[in-house]
Amino acid sequence: MPFFSKIIKPLLALTLAAAVLSAQGCTKDSKPDAKPAEPAATAPTAAPAQPAAKPGEPRTIALSVTEKGYEPSPITLKQGEPVKLVLTRTTDKTCATEIVLEDYNINTPLPLNQPVEVAFTPNKTGQLVYGCAMGKMVNGVFMVE
């Protein structure tokens, strides 16, 4: 029916515009997160601004890259427990301008003074050495148990 589509199409456009506007509004005014932490499976009506939620929050670990290298180190991790590293390189006097962890396909640049998130889940126990791109001359250690 052409009559309906003439009305409905503009309505849809308005609705979409409103949704986009309100989504932007959400990111700006940092109102307290009222949402219950739900183990989001595939939520069909996920907010477009947010990446897919994970089942359970990963453990967040802050790491610095200083003149001494990656700090702190060693760090104990648990096999199967997702972790989110937040790495901040705070010096230019290092060649560790990235983090390399081949076993988990990680090779991530670390710009100066910018926190960079790297997520992975250790899937085997033992010592896990990460480091700079030059054969891990500068390195750090995860102990996975």
Tell me: does residue 68 bind Cu ion (CB under 5 A): no
Tell me: does residue 132 bind Cu ion (CB under 5 A): yes
- Residue 80: alpha-carbon gap to chain centroid: 17
Tell me: does residue 20 bind Cu ion (CB under 5 A): no
Q: Which is nearer to Cu ion, 14 or 95 (CB)?
A: 95
Radius of gyration of the chain (CA): 22
> What is the rounded end-to-end Cα distance, in angstroms, of the chain?
65
Q: Which is nearer to Cu ion, 130 or 142 (CB)?
A: 130
Q: What angle do CA 101, 142, 52 make, to 5 degrees?
A: 65
Q: Which of 7, 14, 20, 95 binds Cu ion (CB under 5 A)?
A: 95
* Residues at the interface with Cu ion (CB under 5 A): 95, 132, 134, 137
